[in-house]
Amino acid sequence: MQSVHLAWVDYTILIAYTVFVIGIGFALRKYLKSSSDFLTSGRSIPAWVTGLAFISANLGALEVVGMAASGAQYGVATAHFYWVGAIPAMLFLAVFMMPFYYGSKARSVPEYLNMRFDGRVRCFNSISFAIMTVFASGISMDALARMLSFLLPWKNEYNIGGHVFGSYDFYLIICSAIVLVYVLKGGLTSAIYTEVLQFFMIVLGFAPVVWLGLKEVGGWSTLKEKLSVVAQNPSALYLGDKAYNSGAWSHAWTPIIAGPEHNPMGVGVFPIVFGLGFVLSFGYWCTNFLVVQRAMAARNMSAARRTPLIAAVPKMLFPAIVILPGMVAVALAVMPGKDYRLPPVAISATKMSYAVADVKAAAPDNAPAAVEKIKADVGLGMDPAKLTAIIQANSTSALSDDDLKTKLQDAVTDTYYNGVTLSLIERYCPAGLLGLALTALLASFMSGMAGNVTAFNTIWTYDLYQAYLAPSKTDRHYFVVGQASTVVGIILSIFCAYFSSHYSNAMNVIQLVFGFVNAPLFATFLLGMFWARTTGTGAFYGLIIGTCTSALFHSLTIYTGGTPGLQGAYLWHFLGHSTIPASCILPSSMAQNFWLASFAFASCFIFTTGISLATARTKTDEELKGLVYSLTPKLKDDETHFLLRPPVLATILLVCCVILNIIFW
Amino acid sequence: MGLDIRWPIGLMFTLIGVLLVITSFSGGASPRLPGVNIDLIWGIVLLIFGIGMLAGAIAGKKQGPPK
């Protein structure tokens, strides 16, 4: 994939977007009067805005790109991440949990935990969440800087104090600076407004690409036809060694119901419904402050409850924009004459130089040996036939270096799925639309950064600084601390971005650890909100044990094709077993993830219940009013039209979601 | 808050719509589907959207700030 050529119009759109987001920040500056205005928007935003920001905060570019990647690898079953793995949880949040978050006047999720339990759970949650947001922001920054330096490379490099500053550094600093300016000036409101802008950019930027892709394939029924070709022979596209039924890419449920061996995801019904649909999904949507913060910024309780419901509508329809491109890509790849192949993983410059040297040094009559050497040096899957052809061609008449590089890159068989989105953008967008689509990607990365930074500065200021370090200062003091923590948050994210770019394995470790922490979390909230008997001690130790269960599960299991170590099952080695028992090998990493979540949730639930029953309650019923479902007077929704009442609206949306599942059964 | 978000959204997309329509005059066809002048089509769609947003913002201003 070569860098794209941008025309003046594309640059104009990019720059216009940047000017607009900074402008929004400045325009909002004069409305910020208190720390609560800066950090929580002073609870003043209309429901449709918080609703779109809610969905947008979740929709980072990594998700946009990642969903297309999954769409290519798994077909329409990827929609489970939306229809099973998001909608039910969002509806539950709106109807049952928002009253507690909003009504308790808690300014953050950890603050709610403090009110409901005590400082221990709050402390654990705030620290783990604060660290996670900084890393999440850093990962977004890193991905953005890399994408920009790839697409629009900066030729100049500067050597400052021994470190070479090139495109990557330039883009990292510039994008961080832009986010810093508009968040510093406009606070959470600024982040929310730009998230809404980003939402429209993504929808309006990618919809034409998807439409053009579908048009080129020849419509939905042709798409299904081509997908059945893929399903019956995925190895032709290097998608794995198994073959599936013809409907595996175009049906969401039948391949899953058939069992883990019959779908590319390698999961059955239980892990999808319980692991993903319940534990992971509710765990994210109902407890993650990044999204809940947007709902808490709404102007009143009814707006707060409608926020996730409003968000659910685009969420249900998003698969058409983010997953469909992946499916279109694989369909195109099996259509001869379309001249499209899924983007291969790029060979790094260093390894490329070895490979080129290997080709030049190869003896044409001993091609297989040379092929093996090239494969070993590059470290990626490669097509031996193509490599042999390159060696033969080079021995007949020496090819130029550039020619060799192109051919070698083309011989790579490992697919870079995250590159599918960009490859389709390049394929279909003329100048103009190209600028829009790329700006949409840029917008979503930047708002991923901004969203995490605004969550970080609130958690830091209220749950860590005010709670433990400096409790009785003036509001002006906390306002300034809020702003300072924004700057610090961005700087820490920059460090994380550099860390992520050098030690991608370390980043995998960090994400793993946060997966461990998130998995049991929903059990704690569920018990806290719906069972008055849950005690602080029970919640705290239950959560710790649940997190340990995640780690234990991961250390004992692995998935087919994974290497023991970072991908699991390292404990067996320490226990003296050289082979892993078959019962501990799961069909795919997704299966491992979903089962891990299920076990961690169950363990946290059981231990929290048990320990709570064994310890005394520290809060009376009166103190828990407004924090526990059974002790809170039911909200009266009769001031609004029947169809707009949250429970009614939620039911309608649930029915729509079920209908979608049936259509793509 | 004080700033109606429909203003920046409306302005942004009206601007992009105009830019796309202008670009379409010098050939805005999609590389793989030469019959489809996507810049023109989408430029018009965005213009309608942007102007619609601006209309909403103006109407909101006339209504006065919410209670």
* CATH code for position A135: 1.20.1730.10
Contacts of A430 in chain B (CB under 8 A): 23, 27-31, 38-39
Q: Which of A414, A438, A467 is a domain's end point?
A: A414
Per-residue confidence (pLDDT) for residue A484, from 0 to 100: 94
- What is the per-residue pLDDT across A358-380, written as a single tens digit (0 to 9) for each? 888 887 788 788 888 888 888 88
- C-beta of residue A35 within 8 angstroms of C-beta of residue A475: yes
Whether A112 maps to a domain, the answer reads: yes
Structure tokens at A561: 């094709």
If asked whether residues A186 and A326 sit together in one domain, one would say yes
Mean pLDDT of chain A: 87
pLDDT digits (tens, 9 = 90+) for B14-36: 999 999 999 998 877 888 888 88
For A54-70, how does the pLDDT look when each residue is reduced to its tens digit (9 = 90+)? 988 888 777 888 889 88
Domain end (from A384, A414, A444): A414
Model confidence pLDDT, tens digit, residues A152-171: 877 777 777 767 778 888 89
pLDDT attached to residue A518? 83
Return the pLDDT at A256.
Answer: 85
Return the pLDDT at A569. 79
Contact A470, A477 (CB under 8 A): yes
User: Which residues of chain B are within 8 Å of residue A45 when distances are taken between CB atoms?
Assistant: 1
- Asked whether residue A344 is domain-assigned, the answer is no
**What one-letter code names the amino acid at A26?**
F
Is A488 touching B (CB cutoff 8 A)? no
Within this chain, do residues A69 and A86 fall inside the same structural domain, yes or no?
A: yes
Compute the average pLDDT of residues A402-416.
Answer: 86
- C-alpha dihedral over A304, A308, A309, A311, to 10 degrees? 120
Q: Are residues A509 and A651 in the same domain?
A: no
In this complex, the residue of B2, B28, B36 whose CB is nearest that of residue A432 is B28
Q: A30: nearest CA in chain B?
A: B2
What does A92-155 look like in DSSP terms, one character per residue? Answer: HIIIIIHHHHHHTT-SSHHHHHHHHS-HHHHHHHHHHHHHHHHHHHHHHHHHHHHHHHHHS---
Highest mean pLDDT among A348-352, A403-407, A462-466 belongs to A462-466
A118 belongs to a structural domain: yes
Look at residue A115 and tell me whether its pLDDT is greater than 50: yes
Question: What pLDDT does A63 receive?
Answer: 82
Let me know if residue B45 belongs to a domain: yes
Task: Please enumerate residues of B whose Cβ is less than 8 A from a Cβ of A.
Answer: 1-3, 5, 8-9, 11-13, 15-16, 19-20, 22-24, 27-33, 36, 38-39, 41-43, 45-46, 49, 66
State whether A360 and A332 are in the same domain: no
Tally of domains in chain B: 1
Q: Which of chain A's residues have a Cβ under 8 Å away from the Cβ of B23?
A: 7, 9, 430-432
For chain A, how big is the Rg over CA atoms in Å? Answer: 26
For A428, the closest of B16, B20, B30 (CB atoms) is B30
Q: Provide the domain count of chain A.
A: 3
Looking at the domain assignment, is residue A343 inside a domain? no
Q: Are A404 and A332 within one domain? A: no
Alpha-carbon distance of A127 to A37, in angstroms, equals 23
A212 touches chain B (CB under 8 A): yes
Does A113 map to a domain?
Answer: yes
Residues of chain B contacting residue A428, judged by C-beta atoms under 8 Å apart: 30-33, 38
Alpha carbon distance, N-terminus to C-terminus of chain A: 35
What is the per-residue pLDDT across A381-399, written as a single tens digit (0 to 9) for each? 888 888 888 888 888 888 8
The domain in which residue A52 lies consists of: 8-337+422-502+634-663
Inter-chain CB proximity A212 and B8 less than 8 Å: no
Proportion of chain A above pLDDT 90, given as a percent: 30
Whether residue B43 is contained in a domain is answered as yes
**Would A114 be classed as within a structural domain?**
yes
Query: Would you give the DSSP letter of residue A345?
Result: P
- B16 in a domain, yes or no? yes
Q: Which domain holds residue B55?
A: 6-63
At B65, the pLDDT band (50, 70, 90 cuts) reads low
Whole-number Å distance between alpha carbons of A101 and A621: 18
- Could you give the count of Cα atoms lying within 13 Å of A131 in the half-sphere of its Cβ? 13
Distance CA A212, CA A206 (A): 10
How many cross-chain Cβ pairs, A to B, lie less than 8 Å apart?
A: 101
- B19 in a structural domain: yes
Q: Tell me, yes or no, whether A323 lies in a domain.
A: yes
The mean per-residue pLDDT over the stretch A285-308 comes to 89
DSSP A449: H
Residue B15 lies in a domain: yes
Q: Tell me whether strands A585-586 and A558-559 are parallel, antiparallel or unpaired.
A: parallel
Please tell me which residue, A176 or B35, carries the higher pLDDT value: A176
Q: Is the minimum CB–CB distance between A364 and chain B shorter than 8 Å? A: no
What is the reported pLDDT for A617?
A: 85
pLDDT at A72 over 70: yes
Distances (CA, A) of A490 to A108, A426, B15: 20, 31, 31
* Contact between chains at B1 and A31 (C-beta distance less than 8 A): yes
Cβ–Cβ below 8 Å for B2 and A30: yes
Q: Give pLDDT, residue A607.
A: 95
Identify whether residues A566 and A533 lie together within a single domain.
yes
Task: Check residue A2 and give its pLDDT.
Answer: 54
Q: How confident is the model at residue A461 (pLDDT cuts 50, 70, 90)?
A: very high
DSSP-derived secondary structure letter, A241:
S
Mean pLDDT of A4-26: 90
Rounded to 5°, the CA angle A358-A364-A369 comes to 60
What value, to the nearest 5°, has the Cα angle with vertex A626 and ends A623 and A627?
Answer: 75
**pLDDT average, residue stretch A226-230:** 87
Residues facing A558 on adjacent strands:
A585
The DSSP secondary structure of A168-225, one letter per residue, reads HHHHHHHHHHHHHHHHHHHHHHHHHHHHHHHHHHHHHHHHHHHHHHHHHHTSHHHHHH
| Range A568-582 average pLDDT | 78
CA distances from A516 to A117, A128, A274 (A): 22, 11, 16
Kindly determine whether residue A427 and residue B32, on different chains, have CB atoms separated by under 8 Å: yes
A3 falls within a domain: no
A479 lies in the same domain as A509: no
Q: Choose the weakest-confidence range: A37-41, A82-86, A346-350, A355-359.
A: A346-350
Query: Which among A101, A96, A128 is positioned nearest to A116, based on CA atoms?
Result: A101
Model confidence at B67, pLDDT cuts 50, 70, 90, reads: very low
Q: Which residue of B has its CA nearest to A216?
A: B33
Report the SS3 class of residue A381: coil
Mean predicted confidence (pLDDT) in A529-538: 90
A609 in the same domain as A482: no
Q: Which residue of chain B has the CA closest to A21? A: B8
Judged against a pLDDT cut of 90, whether residue B46 lies above it is answered with: yes
| A204/B20 touch (CB, cutoff 8 Å), yes or no | no
Phi-psi group of A346: left, alpha or beta (phi > 0 → left; psi -120 to 50 → alpha; rest → beta): beta
Q: Is residue B1 a part of any domain in this protein?
A: no
Instruction: Reply yes or no on whether the pLDDT at A634 is more than 80.
Output: no
Task: With respect to residue B28, please indicate whether it lies within any of the assigned structural domains.
Answer: yes
Looking at residue A130, its pLDDT comes to: 92
Residue A204 with chain B: CB contacts under 8 Å: 13, 42, 45-46, 49
Q: How far is A432 from chain B (nearest CA, A)?
A: 5
- Residues A584-609 pLDDT 10s: 888 887 888 888 889 999 999 999 99
